[in-house]
């Protein structure tokens, strides 16, 4: 208890002495809310860049024969209005890298995690505020390094976001294998260091700093997601750290961890021997698979927490929802081999990985069933956050189904490295994560800026994005089945892909609409942050602990004592209650049985 008292005293001191100068308050801040917004805005900027890269990819795939002299300003990328093939490889590599790590791991986890964890656990700040600030200021150099790689030497990394050797391990393999790949590794090291610091803060804060009465099984689903994401990150990222270090040694110090014997490059046998490119794949995907759940789990958490507030119903099957998340997280560590079915692994091993992958369908189905059961017979309030939450459910189903196909070894031999895979992960991983972030933004915006986002503009943005998203990514299943390769500069050099060009053009136009619709979001976000309607403390009449703070919460989050929690955050439409929701801090002996003692 001594610790508790000291800490409480410290917390009060902390709250009383909020930094005053602009630099310490908004730049080198240790306040979790400011850090959360810093992460979020940086991720949005990175999303803008990575989105533009995607648009350029799409332009090439739809009209490879056309010239675009206006794009000559991308000097390395275009010659006389025609894209260089090397530049195309850089585009998809950097689009994937930036989106996976610097956008979709960053905005939901580092952005909303920092923003929401202390508000939802009932703490003045994260457990280690200094480490938290340091984590952002480690992340930012990572972004700069990654972006700068386009302008250094022969250009950015071009070995795919998975950076498979030998392309990534031999500096003379392709133009992007030079400085670009080295900067990719350095950027990733910054990112991993930052994410590790964040993860330590997340697990420590969630396990140790919950307010009085907030047991684990009273936590909102967002907190569960953040906790599991942090555990996944702490346990899986070190594998990529190890692999990156070995890759760096192979590239610069002549070792042969990943480079096999007898490799011939430009007519010369390379001076390495005995390494195994598959070793990289194992280490990469040991991180890579948990990583895609790091993107997705927060979206699943947001969806549950948003959904109850707009259904005015308790969450259906809370324990099963928590169990499903735990199961998904646990299984994510034993299925990495399904990314390597065509690598020549033993069919028996492949079968084990396939079975593990199929098993993920079970908790995923539990989650879907419970969301549908939460929606069932409720009077849904169709506000912007709710639309996004339902969008997540839709994408989770349509993207999840193709996952069951891809998880089977026999089918994967055909699908591997085709657009079918691109369709699958853009729907489930990228799409669900992105929609989750949009939903969370609209829902928790009052806690970020004390204002509401414009609901009409939000809805227009949703419908454009939702329809354009499906129009962009759904046809990719079809061209994938038809044999369209995943990473190809000019598909129409093959006779059998020529008839797919109209579909590629349709996809590209949809992608442009999708990209352009995001302008609506940027306008809404920045306009609302400064000019939006002022929000009350609890504008959605939601039951969670975070809604007992002022909008926006001040330094230290609660002006007085930290409130005590008496129930879970899902008490909506409780019989006998005064209003149709009961705040987590309400001691009334209704609803949550645990509240009565």
Partner 1 sequence: MATPALDDPGLPPGRGSLPALAVVGHGGGGGRDSQVRFDPTRFGLWAFLGTISMLFIGFTSAYMLRRASADWAPIAAPPILWLNTTLLALSSVALEAARQRLRAWKVTAARGFFGLAGALGAGFVIGQFGAWRTLRAQGVFLATNPHSSFFYMLTGVHVLHLAGGLVWFLAIAARLRRLTPGDDALGLFATYWHFLGFVWAYLLFVLFVL
Span from 174-182, 242-250, 347-355, 429-437 in contact with partner 1 (CB under 8 A): 242-250
CB of 236 to partner 1, least distance (A): 8
Tell me the CA distances in angstroms from 76 to 71, 98, 182, 491, 553, one per residue in order.
10, 20, 18, 22, 47
Alpha carbons 115 and 447: distance in angstroms, whole number:
8
Strand, helix or coil for residue 2: helix
Stretch binding partner 1 (CB under 8 A), from 104-112, 357-365, 462-470, 519-527: 357-365
Specify which residues 451 forms β-bridges with: 534
Burial string for 281-309 (b: 16+ CB within 10 Å, else e) reads: bbbbbbbbbbbbbbbbbbbbbbbbbbbbb
* Among the listed residues 203, 360, 434, 452, the single contact to partner 1 using CB under 8 A: 203
The answer to the question of residue 279 lying near partner 1 (CB under 8 A) is yes
Torsion of CA 493, 503, 471, 40, to 10 degrees: 20
Tokens representing 372 are: 């549908």
- Residue 282 as a binder of partner 1 (CB under 8 A): the answer is yes
User: Residue 593's CB: how many other CB atoms inside 10 A?
Assistant: 10
We find the least distance from the C-beta atom of residue 109 to partner 1, in angstroms, to be 16
In a 3-state reduction of DSSP, which class is residue 148? helix
Burial grade of 312 (CB within 10 A; 0-12, 13-18, 19 or more): middle
Q: Is 323 in the site for partner 1 (CB under 8 A)?
A: yes
Q: How many residues does the chain have?
A: 597
Stretch of 61-69, 74-82, 307-315, 505-513 lying at the interface with partner 1 (CB under 8 A): 307-315
**Residue from 128, 16, 10 nearest 560 by CA:** 16
Site for partner 1 in 578-597 (CB under 8 A): 591-595
Q: Nearest approach, Cβ of 235 to partner 1 (angstroms)?
A: 5
Q: For residues 56 and 205, which CB has a smaller minimum distance to partner 1 in the complex?
A: 205
Residue spans of alpha helices (H) in 378-454 = 384-406, 409-415, 419-425, 432-449
Which one of 66-74, 405-413, 552-560, 565-573 is the stretch in contact with partner 1 (CB under 8 A)? 565-573
Of 320, 342, 467, 577, which one interacts with partner 1 (CB under 8 A)? 320
Interface with partner 1 includes 205 (CB under 8 A)?
yes
- Candidate residues 169, 315, 331, 386; the one interacting with partner 1 per rule CB under 8 A: 315
CA dihedral sign of residues 406, 408, 409, 413: negative
For 404-434, b/e burial (b = at least 16 CB within 10 A) is: eebbbbeebeebbebbbbbbbbbbbbbbbbb
Beta bridge partners of 156: 180
Using CB under 8 A as the binding criterion, the count of chain residues that bind partner 1 stands at: 79
**Smallest distance from the beta carbon of 273 to partner 1, in angstroms?**
5
**Among 29-37, 100-108, 310-318, 521-529, the segment contacting partner 1 (CB under 8 A):** 310-318
Q: Which of 153, 238, 450, 483 binds partner 1 (CB under 8 A)?
A: 238
- Residue 397 binds to partner 1 (criterion: CB under 8 A): no
Residue 242 has phi, psi (to 5 degrees) of -60, -50
Q: Specify the residue, 58 or 251, whose C-beta has the smaller distance to partner 1.
A: 251
Closest separation between CB of residue 556 and partner 1, Å?
A: 14
Residue number, 76 or 171, with CB nearest to partner 1: 171
Q: Is 286 in the site for partner 1 (CB under 8 A)?
A: yes
Tell me which stretch binds partner 1 (CB under 8 A): 85-93, 144-152, 398-406, 568-576: 568-576
For residue 28, the 8-state DSSP code is: S
Q: Does 242 bind partner 1 (CB under 8 A)?
A: yes
3 is a contact residue toward partner 1 (CB under 8 A): yes
Query: CA dist 138 to 33, 128, 145, Å?
Result: 17, 15, 11
Instruction: Considering the complex, state which of residue 51 and residue 314 has its C-beta at the smaller distance from partner 1.
Output: 314
Q: Which of 73, 253, 348, 530 binds partner 1 (CB under 8 A)?
A: 253
- Three-class DSSP category at 384: helix
80: left (phi > 0), else alpha (psi -120 to 50), else beta? left
Between CA 394 and CA 392 the distance in angstroms is 5
Distances from the Cα of 450 to the Cα of 22, 391, 484, 560, angstroms: 19, 26, 48, 19
Which range binds partner 1 by CB under 8 A, 180-188, 383-391, 416-424, 562-570? 562-570
Enumerate residues 483-542 that contact partner 1 by CB under 8 A.
none
Question: Is residue 407 part of the contact set for partner 1 (CB under 8 A)?
Answer: no
319 near partner 1, rule: CB under 8 A: yes
Write down the least CB distance from residue 264 to partner 1, Å.
Answer: 18
For residue 572, the minimal CB distance to partner 1 (Å) is 10
Sites for partner 1 among residues 142-201 (CB under 8 A): 196, 199-201
Please give the Cα distance from 248 to 225 (Å, whole number).
Answer: 33
- Nearest to partner 1 of 7, 76 (CB atom): 7
Shortest distance (Å) from residue 32 CB to partner 1: 14
Part of the chain binding partner 1 (CB under 8 A), chosen from 35-43, 245-253, 488-496, 514-522: 245-253
Q: Does 275 bind partner 1 (CB under 8 A)?
A: yes
Per the omega criterion (within 30 degrees of 0), is the bond before 144 cis? no
Query: Which residue from 92, 191, 257, 293 is in contact with partner 1, where contact means CB under 8 A?
Result: 257
Question: For partner 1, which is the closer residue by CB, 95 or 124?
Answer: 124
Quick one: which of 9, 269, 362, 381 contacts partner 1 (CB under 8 A)? 362
Q: Rounded distance, CA 586 to CA 567, Å?
A: 8
Residue that is written with structure tokens 């005590």 in the block:
564
Q: In the numeric block, which tokens belong to residue 452?
A: 């509401």
**Residue 562 sits in the site that holds partner 1 (CB under 8 A):** yes
Over its C-alpha atoms, the chain yields an Rg (Å, rounded) of 24
Site for partner 1 in 211-230 (CB under 8 A): 211-213, 215-218
């Amino acid at each position: 208890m001594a610790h508790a008292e000291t800490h409480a005293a410290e917390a009060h001191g902390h709250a009383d002495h909020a930094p005053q100068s602009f630099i310490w308050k908004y730049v080198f801040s240790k306040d979790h809310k400011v850090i959360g917004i810093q992460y979020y805005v940086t991720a949005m900027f990175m999303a803008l860049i990575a989105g533009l890269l995607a648009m350029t990819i799409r332009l090439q795939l739809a009209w490879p024969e056309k010239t675009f002299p206006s794009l000559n300003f991308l000097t390395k990328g275009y010659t006389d209005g025609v894209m260089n093939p090397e530049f195309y490889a850089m585009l998809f590599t950097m689009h994937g890298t930036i989106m996976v790590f610097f956008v979709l791991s960053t905005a939901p986890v580092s952005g909303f995690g920092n923003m929401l964890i202390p508000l939802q656990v009932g703490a003045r700040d994260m457990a280690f505020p200094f480490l938290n600030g340091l984590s952002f200021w480690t992340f930012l150099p990572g972004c700069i390094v990654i972006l700068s790689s386009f302008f250094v030497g022969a250009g950015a990394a071009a070995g795919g976001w998975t950076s498979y050797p030998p392309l990534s391990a031999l500096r003379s393999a392709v133009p992007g294998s030079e400085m670009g790949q080295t900067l990719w590794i350095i950027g990733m090291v910054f990112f991993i260091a930052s994410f590790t610091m964040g993860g330590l803060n997340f697990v420590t804060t969630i396990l140790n700093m919950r307010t009085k009465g907030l047991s684990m099984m009273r936590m909102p689903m967002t907190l569960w997601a953040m906790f599991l994401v942090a555990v996944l990150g702490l346990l899986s990222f070190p594998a990529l750290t190890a692999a990156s270090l070995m890759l760096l040694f192979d590239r610069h110090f002549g070792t042969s961890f990943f480079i096999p014997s007898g490799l011939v490059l430009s007519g010369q046998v390379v001076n390495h021997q005995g390494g195994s490119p598959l070793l990289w794949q194992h280490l990469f995907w040991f991180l890579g698979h948990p990583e895609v759940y790091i993107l997705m789990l927060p979206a699943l958490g947001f969806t549950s927490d948003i959904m109850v507030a707009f259904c005015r119903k308790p969450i259906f099957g809370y324990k099963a929802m928590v169990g499903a998340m735990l199961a998904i997280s646990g299984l994510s560590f034993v299925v990495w081999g399904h990314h390597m079915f065509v690598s020549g692994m033993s069919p028996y091993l492949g079968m084990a990985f396939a079975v593990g992958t199929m098993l993920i369908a079970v908790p995923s189905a539990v989650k879907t069933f419970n969301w549908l059961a939460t929606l069932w017979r409720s009077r849904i309030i169709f506000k912007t956050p709710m639309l996004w939450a339902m969008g997540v459910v839709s994408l989770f189903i349509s993207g999840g189904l193709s996952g069951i196909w891809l998880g089977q070894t026999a089918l994967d031999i055909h699908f591997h490295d085709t657009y079918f895979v691109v369709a699958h992960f853009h729907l489930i991983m990228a799409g669900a994560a992105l929609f989750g972030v949009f939903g969370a933004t609209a829902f928790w915006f009052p806690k970020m800026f004390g204002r509401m986002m414009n609901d009409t503009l939000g809805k227009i943005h949703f419908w454009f994005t939702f329809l354009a998203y499906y129009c962009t990514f759904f046809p990719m299943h079809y061209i994938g089945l038809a044999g369209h390769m995943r990473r190809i500069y000019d598909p129409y050099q093959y006779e059998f892909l020529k008839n797919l060009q109209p579909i590629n053009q349709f996809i590209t136009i949809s992608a442009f609409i999708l990209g352009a619709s995001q302008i609506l979001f940027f306008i809404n976000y920045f306009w609302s942050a400064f000019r939006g309607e002022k929000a009350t403390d609890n504008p959605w009449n939601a039951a969670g602990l975070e809604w007992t703070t002022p909008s926006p919460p001040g330094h230290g989050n609660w002006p007085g004592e930290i409130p005590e929690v008496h129930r879970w955050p899902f008490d909506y439409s409780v019989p006998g209650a005064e209003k149709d929701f009961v705040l987590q801090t309400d001691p009334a002996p209704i609803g949550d049985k645990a509240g009565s003692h």
